[in-house]
Amino acid sequence: MPAIVPVLVVLGIFFLGYRYYSSYLARRVYGLDPDFVTPAHGMRDGVDFVPTNKHVLFGHHFTSVAGAAPIVGPAVAVFWGWGPALLWITLGTVFAAGVHDFGSLVVSVRHKAQSIGTLARDVITPRSRTLFLLIIFFLLTLVNAVFAVVIGSLLVANPAAVIPIFLQIPLAIGIGQYIYRTRSSALLPAILGVLVLYLTILLGMAFPISLEPLAGALGIGERALWVVILFVYTFIASQLPVWVLLQPRDYINSHQLFIALGVILLGIIVGFDTIVAPVVNDVPAQAPSWFPLLFITIACGAVSGFHSLVASGTSSKQLAKDTDARYVGYMGALGEGSLALASVLAVTAGAVASTAEWNRLYSSFATASDGATQNFVEGVAGFANNLGLPIGFGTIFAAVVVISFAATTMDTGVRLQRYVVQEIGEIVRVRPLARNITLATAVAVLIPLAMALLPGGGEQGYTFGVLWQLFGTTNQLTAGLALAVIAVWVTKKRRNPLAVLIPLVFLLVMTTWALMINMLEFIENGQWVLAPLDIIIFVLAIWLIVEAALALVRTWNSREADTEREAQLDES
């Protein structure tokens, strides 16, 4: 099939979803109010609470939630065929991710920009806050560990990407200072920043940087050394005011999405690439079943609990107008769905020229997992080559895009983990942990660092061996629990919660099922680090699901009773 066909179909459905479904959500489900004073204004402090232009905030929100996950997950999931992968990406983005991301942002803004964990206390029960915070803590630990290893692996495989990635930091700081001090539009500086970033690719290709000699002298692997460097960087970056580095870097990176999608789309049109992978793949008998694992493997790109942490952790503190939530939240979900679409096309049409070659790359689930990120990079390079760009430049261009997104997500992830650590410190009454930003950030960095450095099976270690499975299930579980908070809030507001309840039930069923499957596999394979972690998350999940169900029933019954009393008063 020509690759342009699914592009037009999926993007057309995304357009209709934003035009009509998000409008319905804004009016009838979330009730956006243009006169509502958002926390960015009411609690403005110049550090975390900063009223931000909706386009700049979209840049931060989108690049914070995008990361490497909407690339890796779909690139792995096409193992079961590109048809099921694209179907879940399309329906999941429109009817689950959009509802989840949009709703998480709105509910947080209406509750003084509280995190989704704290919102569980106010909306469900006080006990649920602690349960939710623990699940979020485990999720962020896995997110930061996974992305650190992904970035480390890409920097080892693409040493020419090192200079562009690290020069982006001072470039973003300079742009941030210019925008903040001159109060000018961020559009032109960000576009110039992207152009300068891509020019530095030539510098990186001329002077590739490998840490292998230094790593050898230190007695560790090169990837492990990059992981340590990345966590040192995030320890510093996550404590800076958002306008110094996070916002300008995010805004630069948001433009990379449109450039990358443009390269892919134009490359497909010019090269008239054909999808050579099967619509539904005849997988080996010993391979994992696509049901329910497809819905876990493709997390970001269809629906992701991490988005609720970003929406309620940083984006809600920067939303200038209540009505901007539709653009930032729902459009951000569509942006990630578009990136997932690009990933599917890159690994089924751009990276390979024949079905036989694709079958070799996807001969087993392990092979598909180990090569997912590099398959995407090579696929984008193939599309770029259709436009006349050399394969070498296209490869580094794609690597820079992936690393930029993943690094930004790490910045945000560690910042969010610091918030969670401080909230847990308040609950257990450990004042230094709750009040000392440096100490809380150190905890937020050291735990995922230890997880990232754990040995694992396969060349990619825990990231694509077993840790990715637990990350996916925990991520989707968090999305389901965030939807539970949103559903109770919507019900309390006496609006129809059906749009929230349908994806909520689906996700909770899929994730608890997958947690049980993973639990048995971890025990059978002797994974005595991950098996207990899976069990703990499973117990917390069941407990919190029960709490949320009871709260929803109580809220519904209370609403019905209020409606009946009002009817009686009207009659009298």
Distance between start and end Cα atoms, the chain: 67
d(CA 545, CA 340): 29
Helix residue ranges, H only, 387-497: 391-427, 431-435, 437-452, 462, 468-492
Q: What is the pLDDT along the chain (572 residues), one digit of tens a residue?
A: 899 999 999 999 999 999 999 999 999 999 999 999 999 999 998 878 989 989 888 877 887 787 778 998 999 999 999 999 999 999 999 999 999 999 999 999 999 999 888 888 888 888 888 888 888 898 889 889 888 988 998 999 999 999 999 999 999 999 888 887 887 777 788 889 899 999 999 999 999 999 999 999 999 999 999 999 999 999 998 888 877 887 788 778 878 878 988 898 899 989 988 999 999 999 888 888 888 899 999 988 899 998 998 899 889 999 999 999 999 999 999 999 999 999 999 999 988 888 999 999 999 888 888 788 889 999 999 999 999 999 999 999 999 998 988 888 788 889 889 988 998 998 888 988 898 999 999 999 999 999 888 765 444 444 455 677 788 888 898 999 899 999 999 999 999 999 999 999 999 999 999 999 888 988 887 777 778 888 998 998 898 889 889 999 999 988 888 777 776 666 65
Both tokens of 240, joined, read 């800076």
d(CA 267, CA 389): 10
Find, among 152, 138, 317, 136, the residue nearest to 233 by Cα.
Answer: 152
Q: Mind spelling out the 3-state secondary structure of 170-193?
A: HHHHHHHHHHHHHCCCCHHHHHHH
d(CA 15, CA 331): 10
Phi and psi at 546, nearest 5°, equal -60, -45
Helix residue ranges, H only, 113-237: 116-123, 126-157, 162-182, 187-206, 212-218, 222-237
Find, among 306, 392, 329, 347, the residue nearest to 85 by Cα.
Answer: 347
CA geometry: angle 564, 570, 571, nearest 5 deg = 90
Of all residues in the chain, what percent are helix, strand and coil, respectively (each to 5)? 80, 0, 20
Provide the 8-state DSSP code for 243.
Answer: T
pLDDT score of 459: 41
Tell whether pTM > 0.85.
Answer: yes
pLDDT score of 245: 84
CA geometry: angle 401, 403, 409, nearest 5 deg = 105
How far, in Å, are 60, 226, 544 from residue 181 at the CA level?
19, 34, 46
pLDDT score of 390: 95
d(CA 175, CA 301): 29
Residue by residue, DSSP assigns 348-413 as IIIS-SSHHHHHHHTSSHHHHHHTHHHHHHHHHHHHHHHTT--HHHHHHHHHHHHHHHHHHHHHHH
Provide the 8-state DSSP code for 28.
Answer: I
pLDDT score of 267: 93
Helix axes of 4-16 and 82-92: crossing angle, nearest 10 degrees: 20
pLDDT score of 190: 82
Domains for the chain: give ranges and CATH numbers: 4-34+53-571 (1.20.1740.10)
What letters, b where the CB count within 10 A reaches 16 and e where it falls short, cover 212-232? eeebeeeeebbbbbbbbbbbe
According to DSSP, the residues that pair with 2 across neighbouring strands are 274
Residue by residue, DSSP assigns 34-52 as TT---HHHHT--SSS---B
pLDDT score of 227: 94
